[in-house]
Every structure is written in C-alpha cells, then in structure tokens.
C-alpha cells in the first residue's frame, strides 16, 4: 500500500500534488510538508518527528497498530474486511489544521458487525 501513495500526482480537482518519501529525521519536514503519512517508526523516531512538526500546520496520518496517540491526527485501522479511522482531537487542536466537521463525524461511525 505505501507505494500506491506515491503514484498519484494530481488530485481529483486537477490540482497538482507533490509526493515525496522522506526519512523521519529530515529537517525539511516541518516547513515543506502539508501532510505526513507515517510508516513503521520506533517510539523514539515518532516522538522526534512529532516534536519537529509541533507548531506547524501539518496533517499526520498513522497506520501503526498502537493506540491513536498524541501526534497523529488520523489513525488508520486496516483489516482484511475494512479500513476505518480514528481522529485524535487533541492532535487536531495542536496541529492548527482545520478538519471539516463531517470528517470528524465520519470517524465516530462504527462498522456494521456481521
């Protein structure tokens, strides 16, 4: 799945999209990124990354199996049957990123159980 993220270069609106793969310690992340998709990171690397983007309006999306901890705005939950997400409201408030209320409501929906 991560390789699929770097394939698209245009949004549905036609607006160009620049996707780059960076190391967590890259000094340009805070000033040059609007959104981050986090792969597998050690707790120390994750903490360093969130410290680096603190105070910058950067949307962070995590797919780790850990709880939706401070730092990640959206936390994806991927299973064989579905993809769901959680929103960390504390991280939203700290990030300075504005999230549409409909997206926040959508995150509260629970998938139907078979």
- pTM more than 0.85: no
The radius of gyration of the chain's CA atoms, rounded to the nearest angstrom, is 15
Edge-first strand order for the sheet with 83-87 is 35-38, 59-62, 74-78, 83-87
Kindly state the average pLDDT of the residues 43-64.
Answer: 87
- Between 4 and 76, residue with greater pLDDT: 76
- The confidence band for 4, taking pLDDT boundaries of 50, 70 and 90, is low
C-alpha span between 64 and 48 (Å, rounded)? 16
Average confidence (pLDDT) over 101-106: 89
- Per the model's pLDDT, the better-predicted residue between 6 and 55 turns out to be 55
| Confidence category of residue 113, pLDDT binned at 50, 70, 90 | very low
Q: Residue 51: which residues within 8 A CB-CB, separation 6 or more?
A: none
């Amino acid at each position: 799945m991560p390789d699929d993220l770097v394939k698209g270069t245009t949004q549905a609106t036609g607006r160009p999209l620049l996707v780059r793969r960076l190391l967590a310690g890259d000094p340009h992340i805070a000033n040059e990124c609007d959104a981050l998709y986090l792969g597998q990171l050690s707790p120390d690397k994750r903490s360093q990354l969130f410290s680096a983007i603190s105070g910058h309006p950067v949307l962070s999306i995590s797919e780790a199996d850990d709880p939706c901890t401070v730092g990640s705005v959206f936390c994806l939950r991927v299973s064989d049957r579905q993809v769901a997400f959680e929103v960390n409201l504390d991280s939203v408030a700290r990030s300075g990123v504005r999230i549409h209320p409909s997206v926040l409501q959508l995150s509260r929906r629970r998938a139907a159980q078979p």
